[in-house]
Structure 1
Amino acid sequence: MKKSVFAASTALVLAFAPAVQAQEVTLTLSHWVPPVHTVDTLGMVPWAQSIAEESNGRIQVDIYPAQQLGAAPDHYDMARDGVVDISFINPGYQAGRFPIIAAAELPFLVSNGTSASRALHEWYTQYAEQEMGDVHVCLVHLHEPGTFHATRGPIAGPEDFAGMNVRPPQGTIARLIGNMGASPVQVPVPEMREILSSGGADVTSGPWNSLRLFGVEDIVTHHLDLPLYSVAFVWAINLDVYNNLSDENRAVIDNHCTSEWAERVSTPWAMQEREARPYFVETEGHTMYTPNAEQLAQWQELSQELRAEWATNATAAGLADPAAALADLEARLVAADGAYQP
C-alpha cells in the first residue's frame, strides 16, 4: 500500500528501529486523529518504537493517522476484517454495540485519564473476549474528563440544553443529551468543526485541548465547567495477525498490551488536556458556567438513570451481575486514585 505523506510518525518509528536484523513483521496501525495529536506523537510512536527495540527490529509498526485508511466509526471492523492490523477504536461511536465497556462512558465515574486508564484496562480485560472476541484487545484507556462547550449560554444545568443540537462523544452521553431535551447529532470528532460552523450543532463535547486541536475554540465560547464524563478507547489487533505471530514476537506484543502501557500512552494526552483549561478560563470572550447545588443534583440524577440503563443493557449482553461488575470497576478506580471526586 502506498504510504501517505501525512504518516510522519512512521518515519519517527523507523528512525529509532534497531538495524540488528531485518524486520520479519510489519504491522499497520490506523487511527483517526491528526498526526500532531498527543496520543500519536507521545503515545503510539513511543509504543511502536519500544516494540521495535524489544524485538531487535523484527517488528515494525507503521502508523497511519487522520482516517487515511478508514472512517473513525469503522475502526473496529477494520481490525476485525484485516483491513488494518491494529486500530484505535472509540467503541462509543457505535452506540449499543459494546454495552459492557460502555460502563466507562458513565458520567461522574473517573477523575483523570491517567491512573484511571490503568484501572479500566485491568477491569475490561476480564470481559474483552466476551464482548470483543473477534479481535485481540491490546490496550484500553481513557481521555481526561470532558464536558460540554456551546456557541451560546447559559449551560449550567441540564434544562439549559433543551432544544439544542449537541454533538456527543459516545453513545452514553448521546442518551444523556436526549434525556435533557436536546437532540444528539452523531458525528465523530474529526468532523466537529464542520458541524458547528455550519450551524448543524449548537454544542459539542470534549476535553479542553480538543477544542484547540480541532479548531473550534473560536466557535464554542460557553463552557460547562464540570468534569462530566470520559471516553474509553481500545487498541485492537486483528485476531489472525496476532495468532500467527511467532511465540517470540507475540511475547513482545504482549509486553506492550499491559495496564502499565495503557497508563503510559494516555498520560501525556491527559496532561495536555488538563493544562489547556486555564486558557479558556483566562481568555476574553469565553464564559465558564459552574452548576449550583440544585443543578449539580439534576446532573447526578440523570447520571443515575444512565447507570440503571447500562445495567439493563449489560445484562442483555450476557453480563451475569452488572451491579457487581460496576462496583468492581469503581473499587479499582478508587484503588488507583482515579475515581471521580465530588
Structure 2
Amino acid sequence: MKFKTLLATVGVVALTATAQSAEVELSLSHWVGAQHPLQPGGMEPWVESIKEASEGRIEITIFPASQLGAAQDHYDMARDGIVDIAFVNPGYQPGRFPIVAAGEIPFTISNAKAGSRAYDEWYRQYAGQEMGDVYFCMVHLHDPGTLHGTSGPIQVPSDLNGKNVRPAHGTMARLVNALGASSVFAGAAEMRELLARGAADITASPWGSIYTFGAEDLAKHHLDMPFYVTTFAHVFNKAVVDGMSEENRKVIDDHCTPEWAEKMATKWADGEAAGRQRMIDDGHTLYKPTPEEVELWIEATAPLRDEWKAAATKAGIDAEAGWASLEETLEKYDSKVE
C-alpha cells in the first residue's frame, strides 16, 4: 500500500493501469532487471492471477532492478513496510536464515521446477519459526547453476585455489573459502563489474544469467555440471496482509502455495537452461568432469551438510529429522540428486 505518489516519478513496470476501484494497492520490489525471465515468466502471471482472482480489488505494481533498495536489504524492506512484497535471496545474508539454507548445499536438488514445489512444501513447516516477522508466501529455486570463469580450467576443486570467487550465497562462500579461494560477496547484478575489473576470477551462476547480466564476453570458461541451486523467497509485510479483508486475504493465501512456487520457477528455469547451449554455440569452453572428478566435488562439499545440521540444531529444530524430511519430499517430486 506504498508508493502511490512515487509511481508518478520513478520509472516502474506497472502491469495494469492504476484502477480507482482497487481496494488494495501493493508494491512488489525485486533486484533483477525487468526483462529477467523471472519477471515476465513468473511475477507478472502471478500478479495478473491475483488481480483476476480478486476481481480487480488487489493491484500490484512491480519495481525491478533495485529501484527501492539493495538486493541484500529486501527481507528487511518487507518486514519494515518499506515495500509490501519483496523478492529475497536469503543467502545474501549468510547465517541469518540457517534452515532455508539447506537448499543451498550442492548436489542436493536436481531441478528447479518440481524441485521448487518440493522445497516450498518442505520449508513451510519451518517458515513461521525462521521468517515469522513477515507473511511468508513461497520459496523457489533457480535452475541448477555452476561456476563460470574468465580463464580455465574449472574442472576439479583444486582449480579454485588462489582464485577470487563471487559466490551465489553464504553456503557457496564457505565452500570456496575451504577450497583455498577468496569469496567476493556481491549480488548477481554486480557480477559483470567484478569480473571486468578483476575483483573476481569466477562467478557462481545458472547458465542463462551470464547473458542476463552481460558477463558472456568475460566468463568464457565453465564447469560443465549441475552443481548447486539457490533458494529465493517472496514475502509480504505482515501488517499489510493482516489488514486485508477476509476475501482478499484468501486470494493471497491461494497464491502462496507450493503449486505457485513451481509456476514462479518454471519459465525462469527454462531460460537459464537454454544458456548452456548458447555458450556452446558462442564457442565458450566447457569443462566436463569425469565421474572420478565429480566424486572430488562431492567429497569437497560433503562437510556442508554437517555444517547445516549444526546450524539448524542451533536454530531450534531437529536437524536429522529435518534433513530426512527434505530428502523424502524431494524424492516425492523426483527432484533429489542421486
- TM range, normalised to the smaller chain? over 0.9
Pairwise CA distance, 1:6: 3.8
Q: Are 1:209 and 1:272, in contact at CA under 8 Å, matched by a contact in 2?
A: yes
Instruction: Note if 1:7 corresponds to 2:12.
Output: yes
Deviation (angstroms), 1:5: 5.6
Q: Distance in 2 between matches of 1:221 and 1:190?
A: 18
The residue aligned with 1:137 is: 136
Q: Report the alpha carbon displacement of residue 282 of structure 1 after superposing the two structures with TM.
A: 2.8
Contact 1:32-1:72 at 8 Å conserved across structures: yes
Question: Paired residue for 2:291?
Answer: 293
2:178 is matched with 179
1:33 aligned partner: 32
CA displacement at 1:179 relative to structure 2: 1.1
Please list, as runs of the form range in 1=range in 2, the aligned pairs for 1:242-261 lying within 5 A after superposition: 242-261=241-260
1:308 match: 306
Moved over 4 A (4+): none
Q: CA deviation at 1:200?
A: 0.3
CA distance in 1, matches of 2:27, 2:246: 20
Q: Secondary structure at the match of 2:109?
A: coil
SS of residue in 2 equivalent to 1:112: coil
Helix, strand or coil for the counterpart of 1:140?
A: strand
Q: Which amino acid aligns with 1:295?
A: E
Q: How does the TM-score come out when normalised to structure 1?
A: 0.95
Query: SS of 1:28's equivalent?
Result: strand
Distance in 2 of aligned mates of 1:122 and 1:327: 14
1:194-273 to structure 2, matched below 5 A, reads 194-273=193-272
Alignment deviations for residues 49-78 of structure 1 (CA, whole Å, 9 cap, x no partner): 111111111110011000000000000000
Once superposed, what is the RMSD of the aligned Cα atoms?
A: 1.3
Q: Residue type of the partner of 1:187?
A: A
Partner letter of residue 7 of structure 1?
A: V
3-state SS, counterpart of residue 172 of structure 2: helix
Q: Does 1:324 pair with 2:321?
A: yes
Counterpart residue identity of residue 334, structure 2:
D
Aligned-pair CA distance for 1:289: 0.7
SS in 2 for 1:125: helix
Separation in structure 2 between the aligned mates of residue 275 and residue 102 of structure 1, nearest angstrom = 26
Distance across 2 between alignment mates of 1:49 and 1:27: 13
SS in 1 for 2:62: strand
Paired position in structure 2 for 1:283: 282
Residues 60-139 of structure 1: pairs in structure 2 closer than 5 A = 60-139=59-138
Overall identity of the aligned pairs, in %: 52
List runs of 5+ in structure 1 lacking aligned partners. none
- Look up the match of 1:340: 337
Judge conservation of contact 1:105–1:170 (CA < 8 Å) in 2: yes
State the one-letter code of the partner of 1:159.
Answer: S
Deviation at 1:304, TM superposition (A): 1.2
Q: How many residues are matched? A: 333
The residue type equivalent to 1:245 in the other structure is M
Q: Which runs of 5+ in 2 are unaligned?
A: none
Whole-Å Cα distance in 2 between the matches of residues 261 and 169 of structure 1?
Answer: 24
